[in-house]
Structure 1
Amino acid sequence: MMKAEDIMTKDVVTIRGSATVAEAVGLMKEKKLRALVVDRRYDNDAYGMVSETDIVYKVIAYGKDPKQVRVYEIMSKPCIVVNPELSVEYVARLFANTGIRRAPVIQGKLLGIISITDILTKSNFVETPKTLMLEEKIEKAIEVARATCTQHGAYSKSCAAAWDEVEELQAEAAHQKAEPIPSAKISFEEYCRENPAAPECRNYQP
Structure 2
Amino acid sequence: MRAKDIMTQDVATIRGSATIDQAVKLLRLKGLRALIVEPRTADDAYGIVTETDIAAKVVACGKDPKDVQVYEVMSKPCIVVNPDLDVEYVARLFANTGVWRAPVIQKELLGIVSVTDIIAKGDFVEKPKLAFLQKELQKAISNARSTCATYGLASKEAATAWDLVDEIEAEAGFYGAPKPQKTARAMFAEERQTQPNQTMTAEQVAAIA
TM-score (structure 2 length as normaliser): 0.85
Structure 1 distance, partners of 2:177, 2:16, is 40
The aligned residue for residue 200 of structure 2 is 203
Residues 155 and 40 (structure 1), Cα distance of their counterparts in 2 relative to 1, 3 Å cut: closer
CA offset at residue 10 of structure 1? Answer: 1.1
Per-residue deviation, 1:178: 8.7
2:6, 2:113 within 8 Å by CA — same for their partners in 1? yes
One-letter amino acid of the counterpart of residue 71, structure 1? V
Distance 1:188 1:19, change over 3 A: same
What is the CA-CA distance between 1:189 and the residue it aligns to? 3.8
* CA deviations over 1:15-34 (Å, ceiling 9, x no partner): 11111111111111111111
* 2:66 matched residue in structure 1: 67
Listed as ranges, the gaps of 5+ residues in structure 2 are none
Secondary structure at 1:36 match in 2: strand
| Structure 1 partner of 2:51 | 52
Q: 1:17 to 1:143 in 2, by over 3 A?
A: same
Letter in 2 for 1:78: P
Would the aligned equivalents of 2:14 and 2:23 in 1 still touch at CA under 8 Å? yes
SS in structure 1 of the partner of residue 45 of structure 2: coil
- How far residue 56 of structure 1 moved from its aligned partner, in angstroms, is 0.7
Task: Find the counterpart in structure 2 of residue 113 from structure 1.
Answer: 112
**Does the residue aligned with 2:140 lie in a helix, a strand or coil?**
helix
Consecutive unaligned residues in structure 1, runs of 5 or more: none
How far off its partner does 1:187 sit?
2.9
CA offsets 1:145-175 (integer angstroms, 9 cap, x no match): 2333345543444443432332222122223
CA contact (8 A) 2:36 2:49 kept: yes
Residue in 2 that maps onto 1:35: 34
Aligned equivalents of 1:179 and 1:80: distance in 2? Answer: 32
* Separation of aligned partners in 2, 1:26 and 1:135: 48
Contact 2:192 / 2:200 at 8 angstroms: preserved in 1? no
Letter in 1 for 2:83: P
Give the C-alpha shift of residue 49 in structure 1.
Answer: 0.6
Contact 1:3 1:85 in 2 (8 A): yes
When residues 58 and 47 of structure 1 are mapped into structure 2, their CA distance, relative to the original with a 3 A threshold, is same
Counterparts of 1:76 and 1:127, CA distance in 2: 35
Question: In the alignment, is residue 172 of structure 1 matched against residue 171 of structure 2?
Answer: yes
Task: Give the share of equivalent positions with the same residue, in percent.
Answer: 56
In structure 2, relative to structure 1, the CA distance for the partners of 1:22 and 1:123 (3 Å cut) is same
Match of 1:185 in 2: 185
**What is the aligned partner in structure 2 of residue 134 from structure 1?**
133
Superposition RMSD on alpha carbons, in Å?
A: 2.4
Alignment check: 8 A CA contact 2:130 2:177 kept = no
Give the Cα–Cα distance (whole angstroms) in 1 for the partners of residues 46 and 99 of structure 2: 15
Tell me, yes or no, if structure 1 residue 4 matches structure 2 residue 6: no
* Contact in 2 for aligned 1:105/1:113 (Cα 8 Å): yes
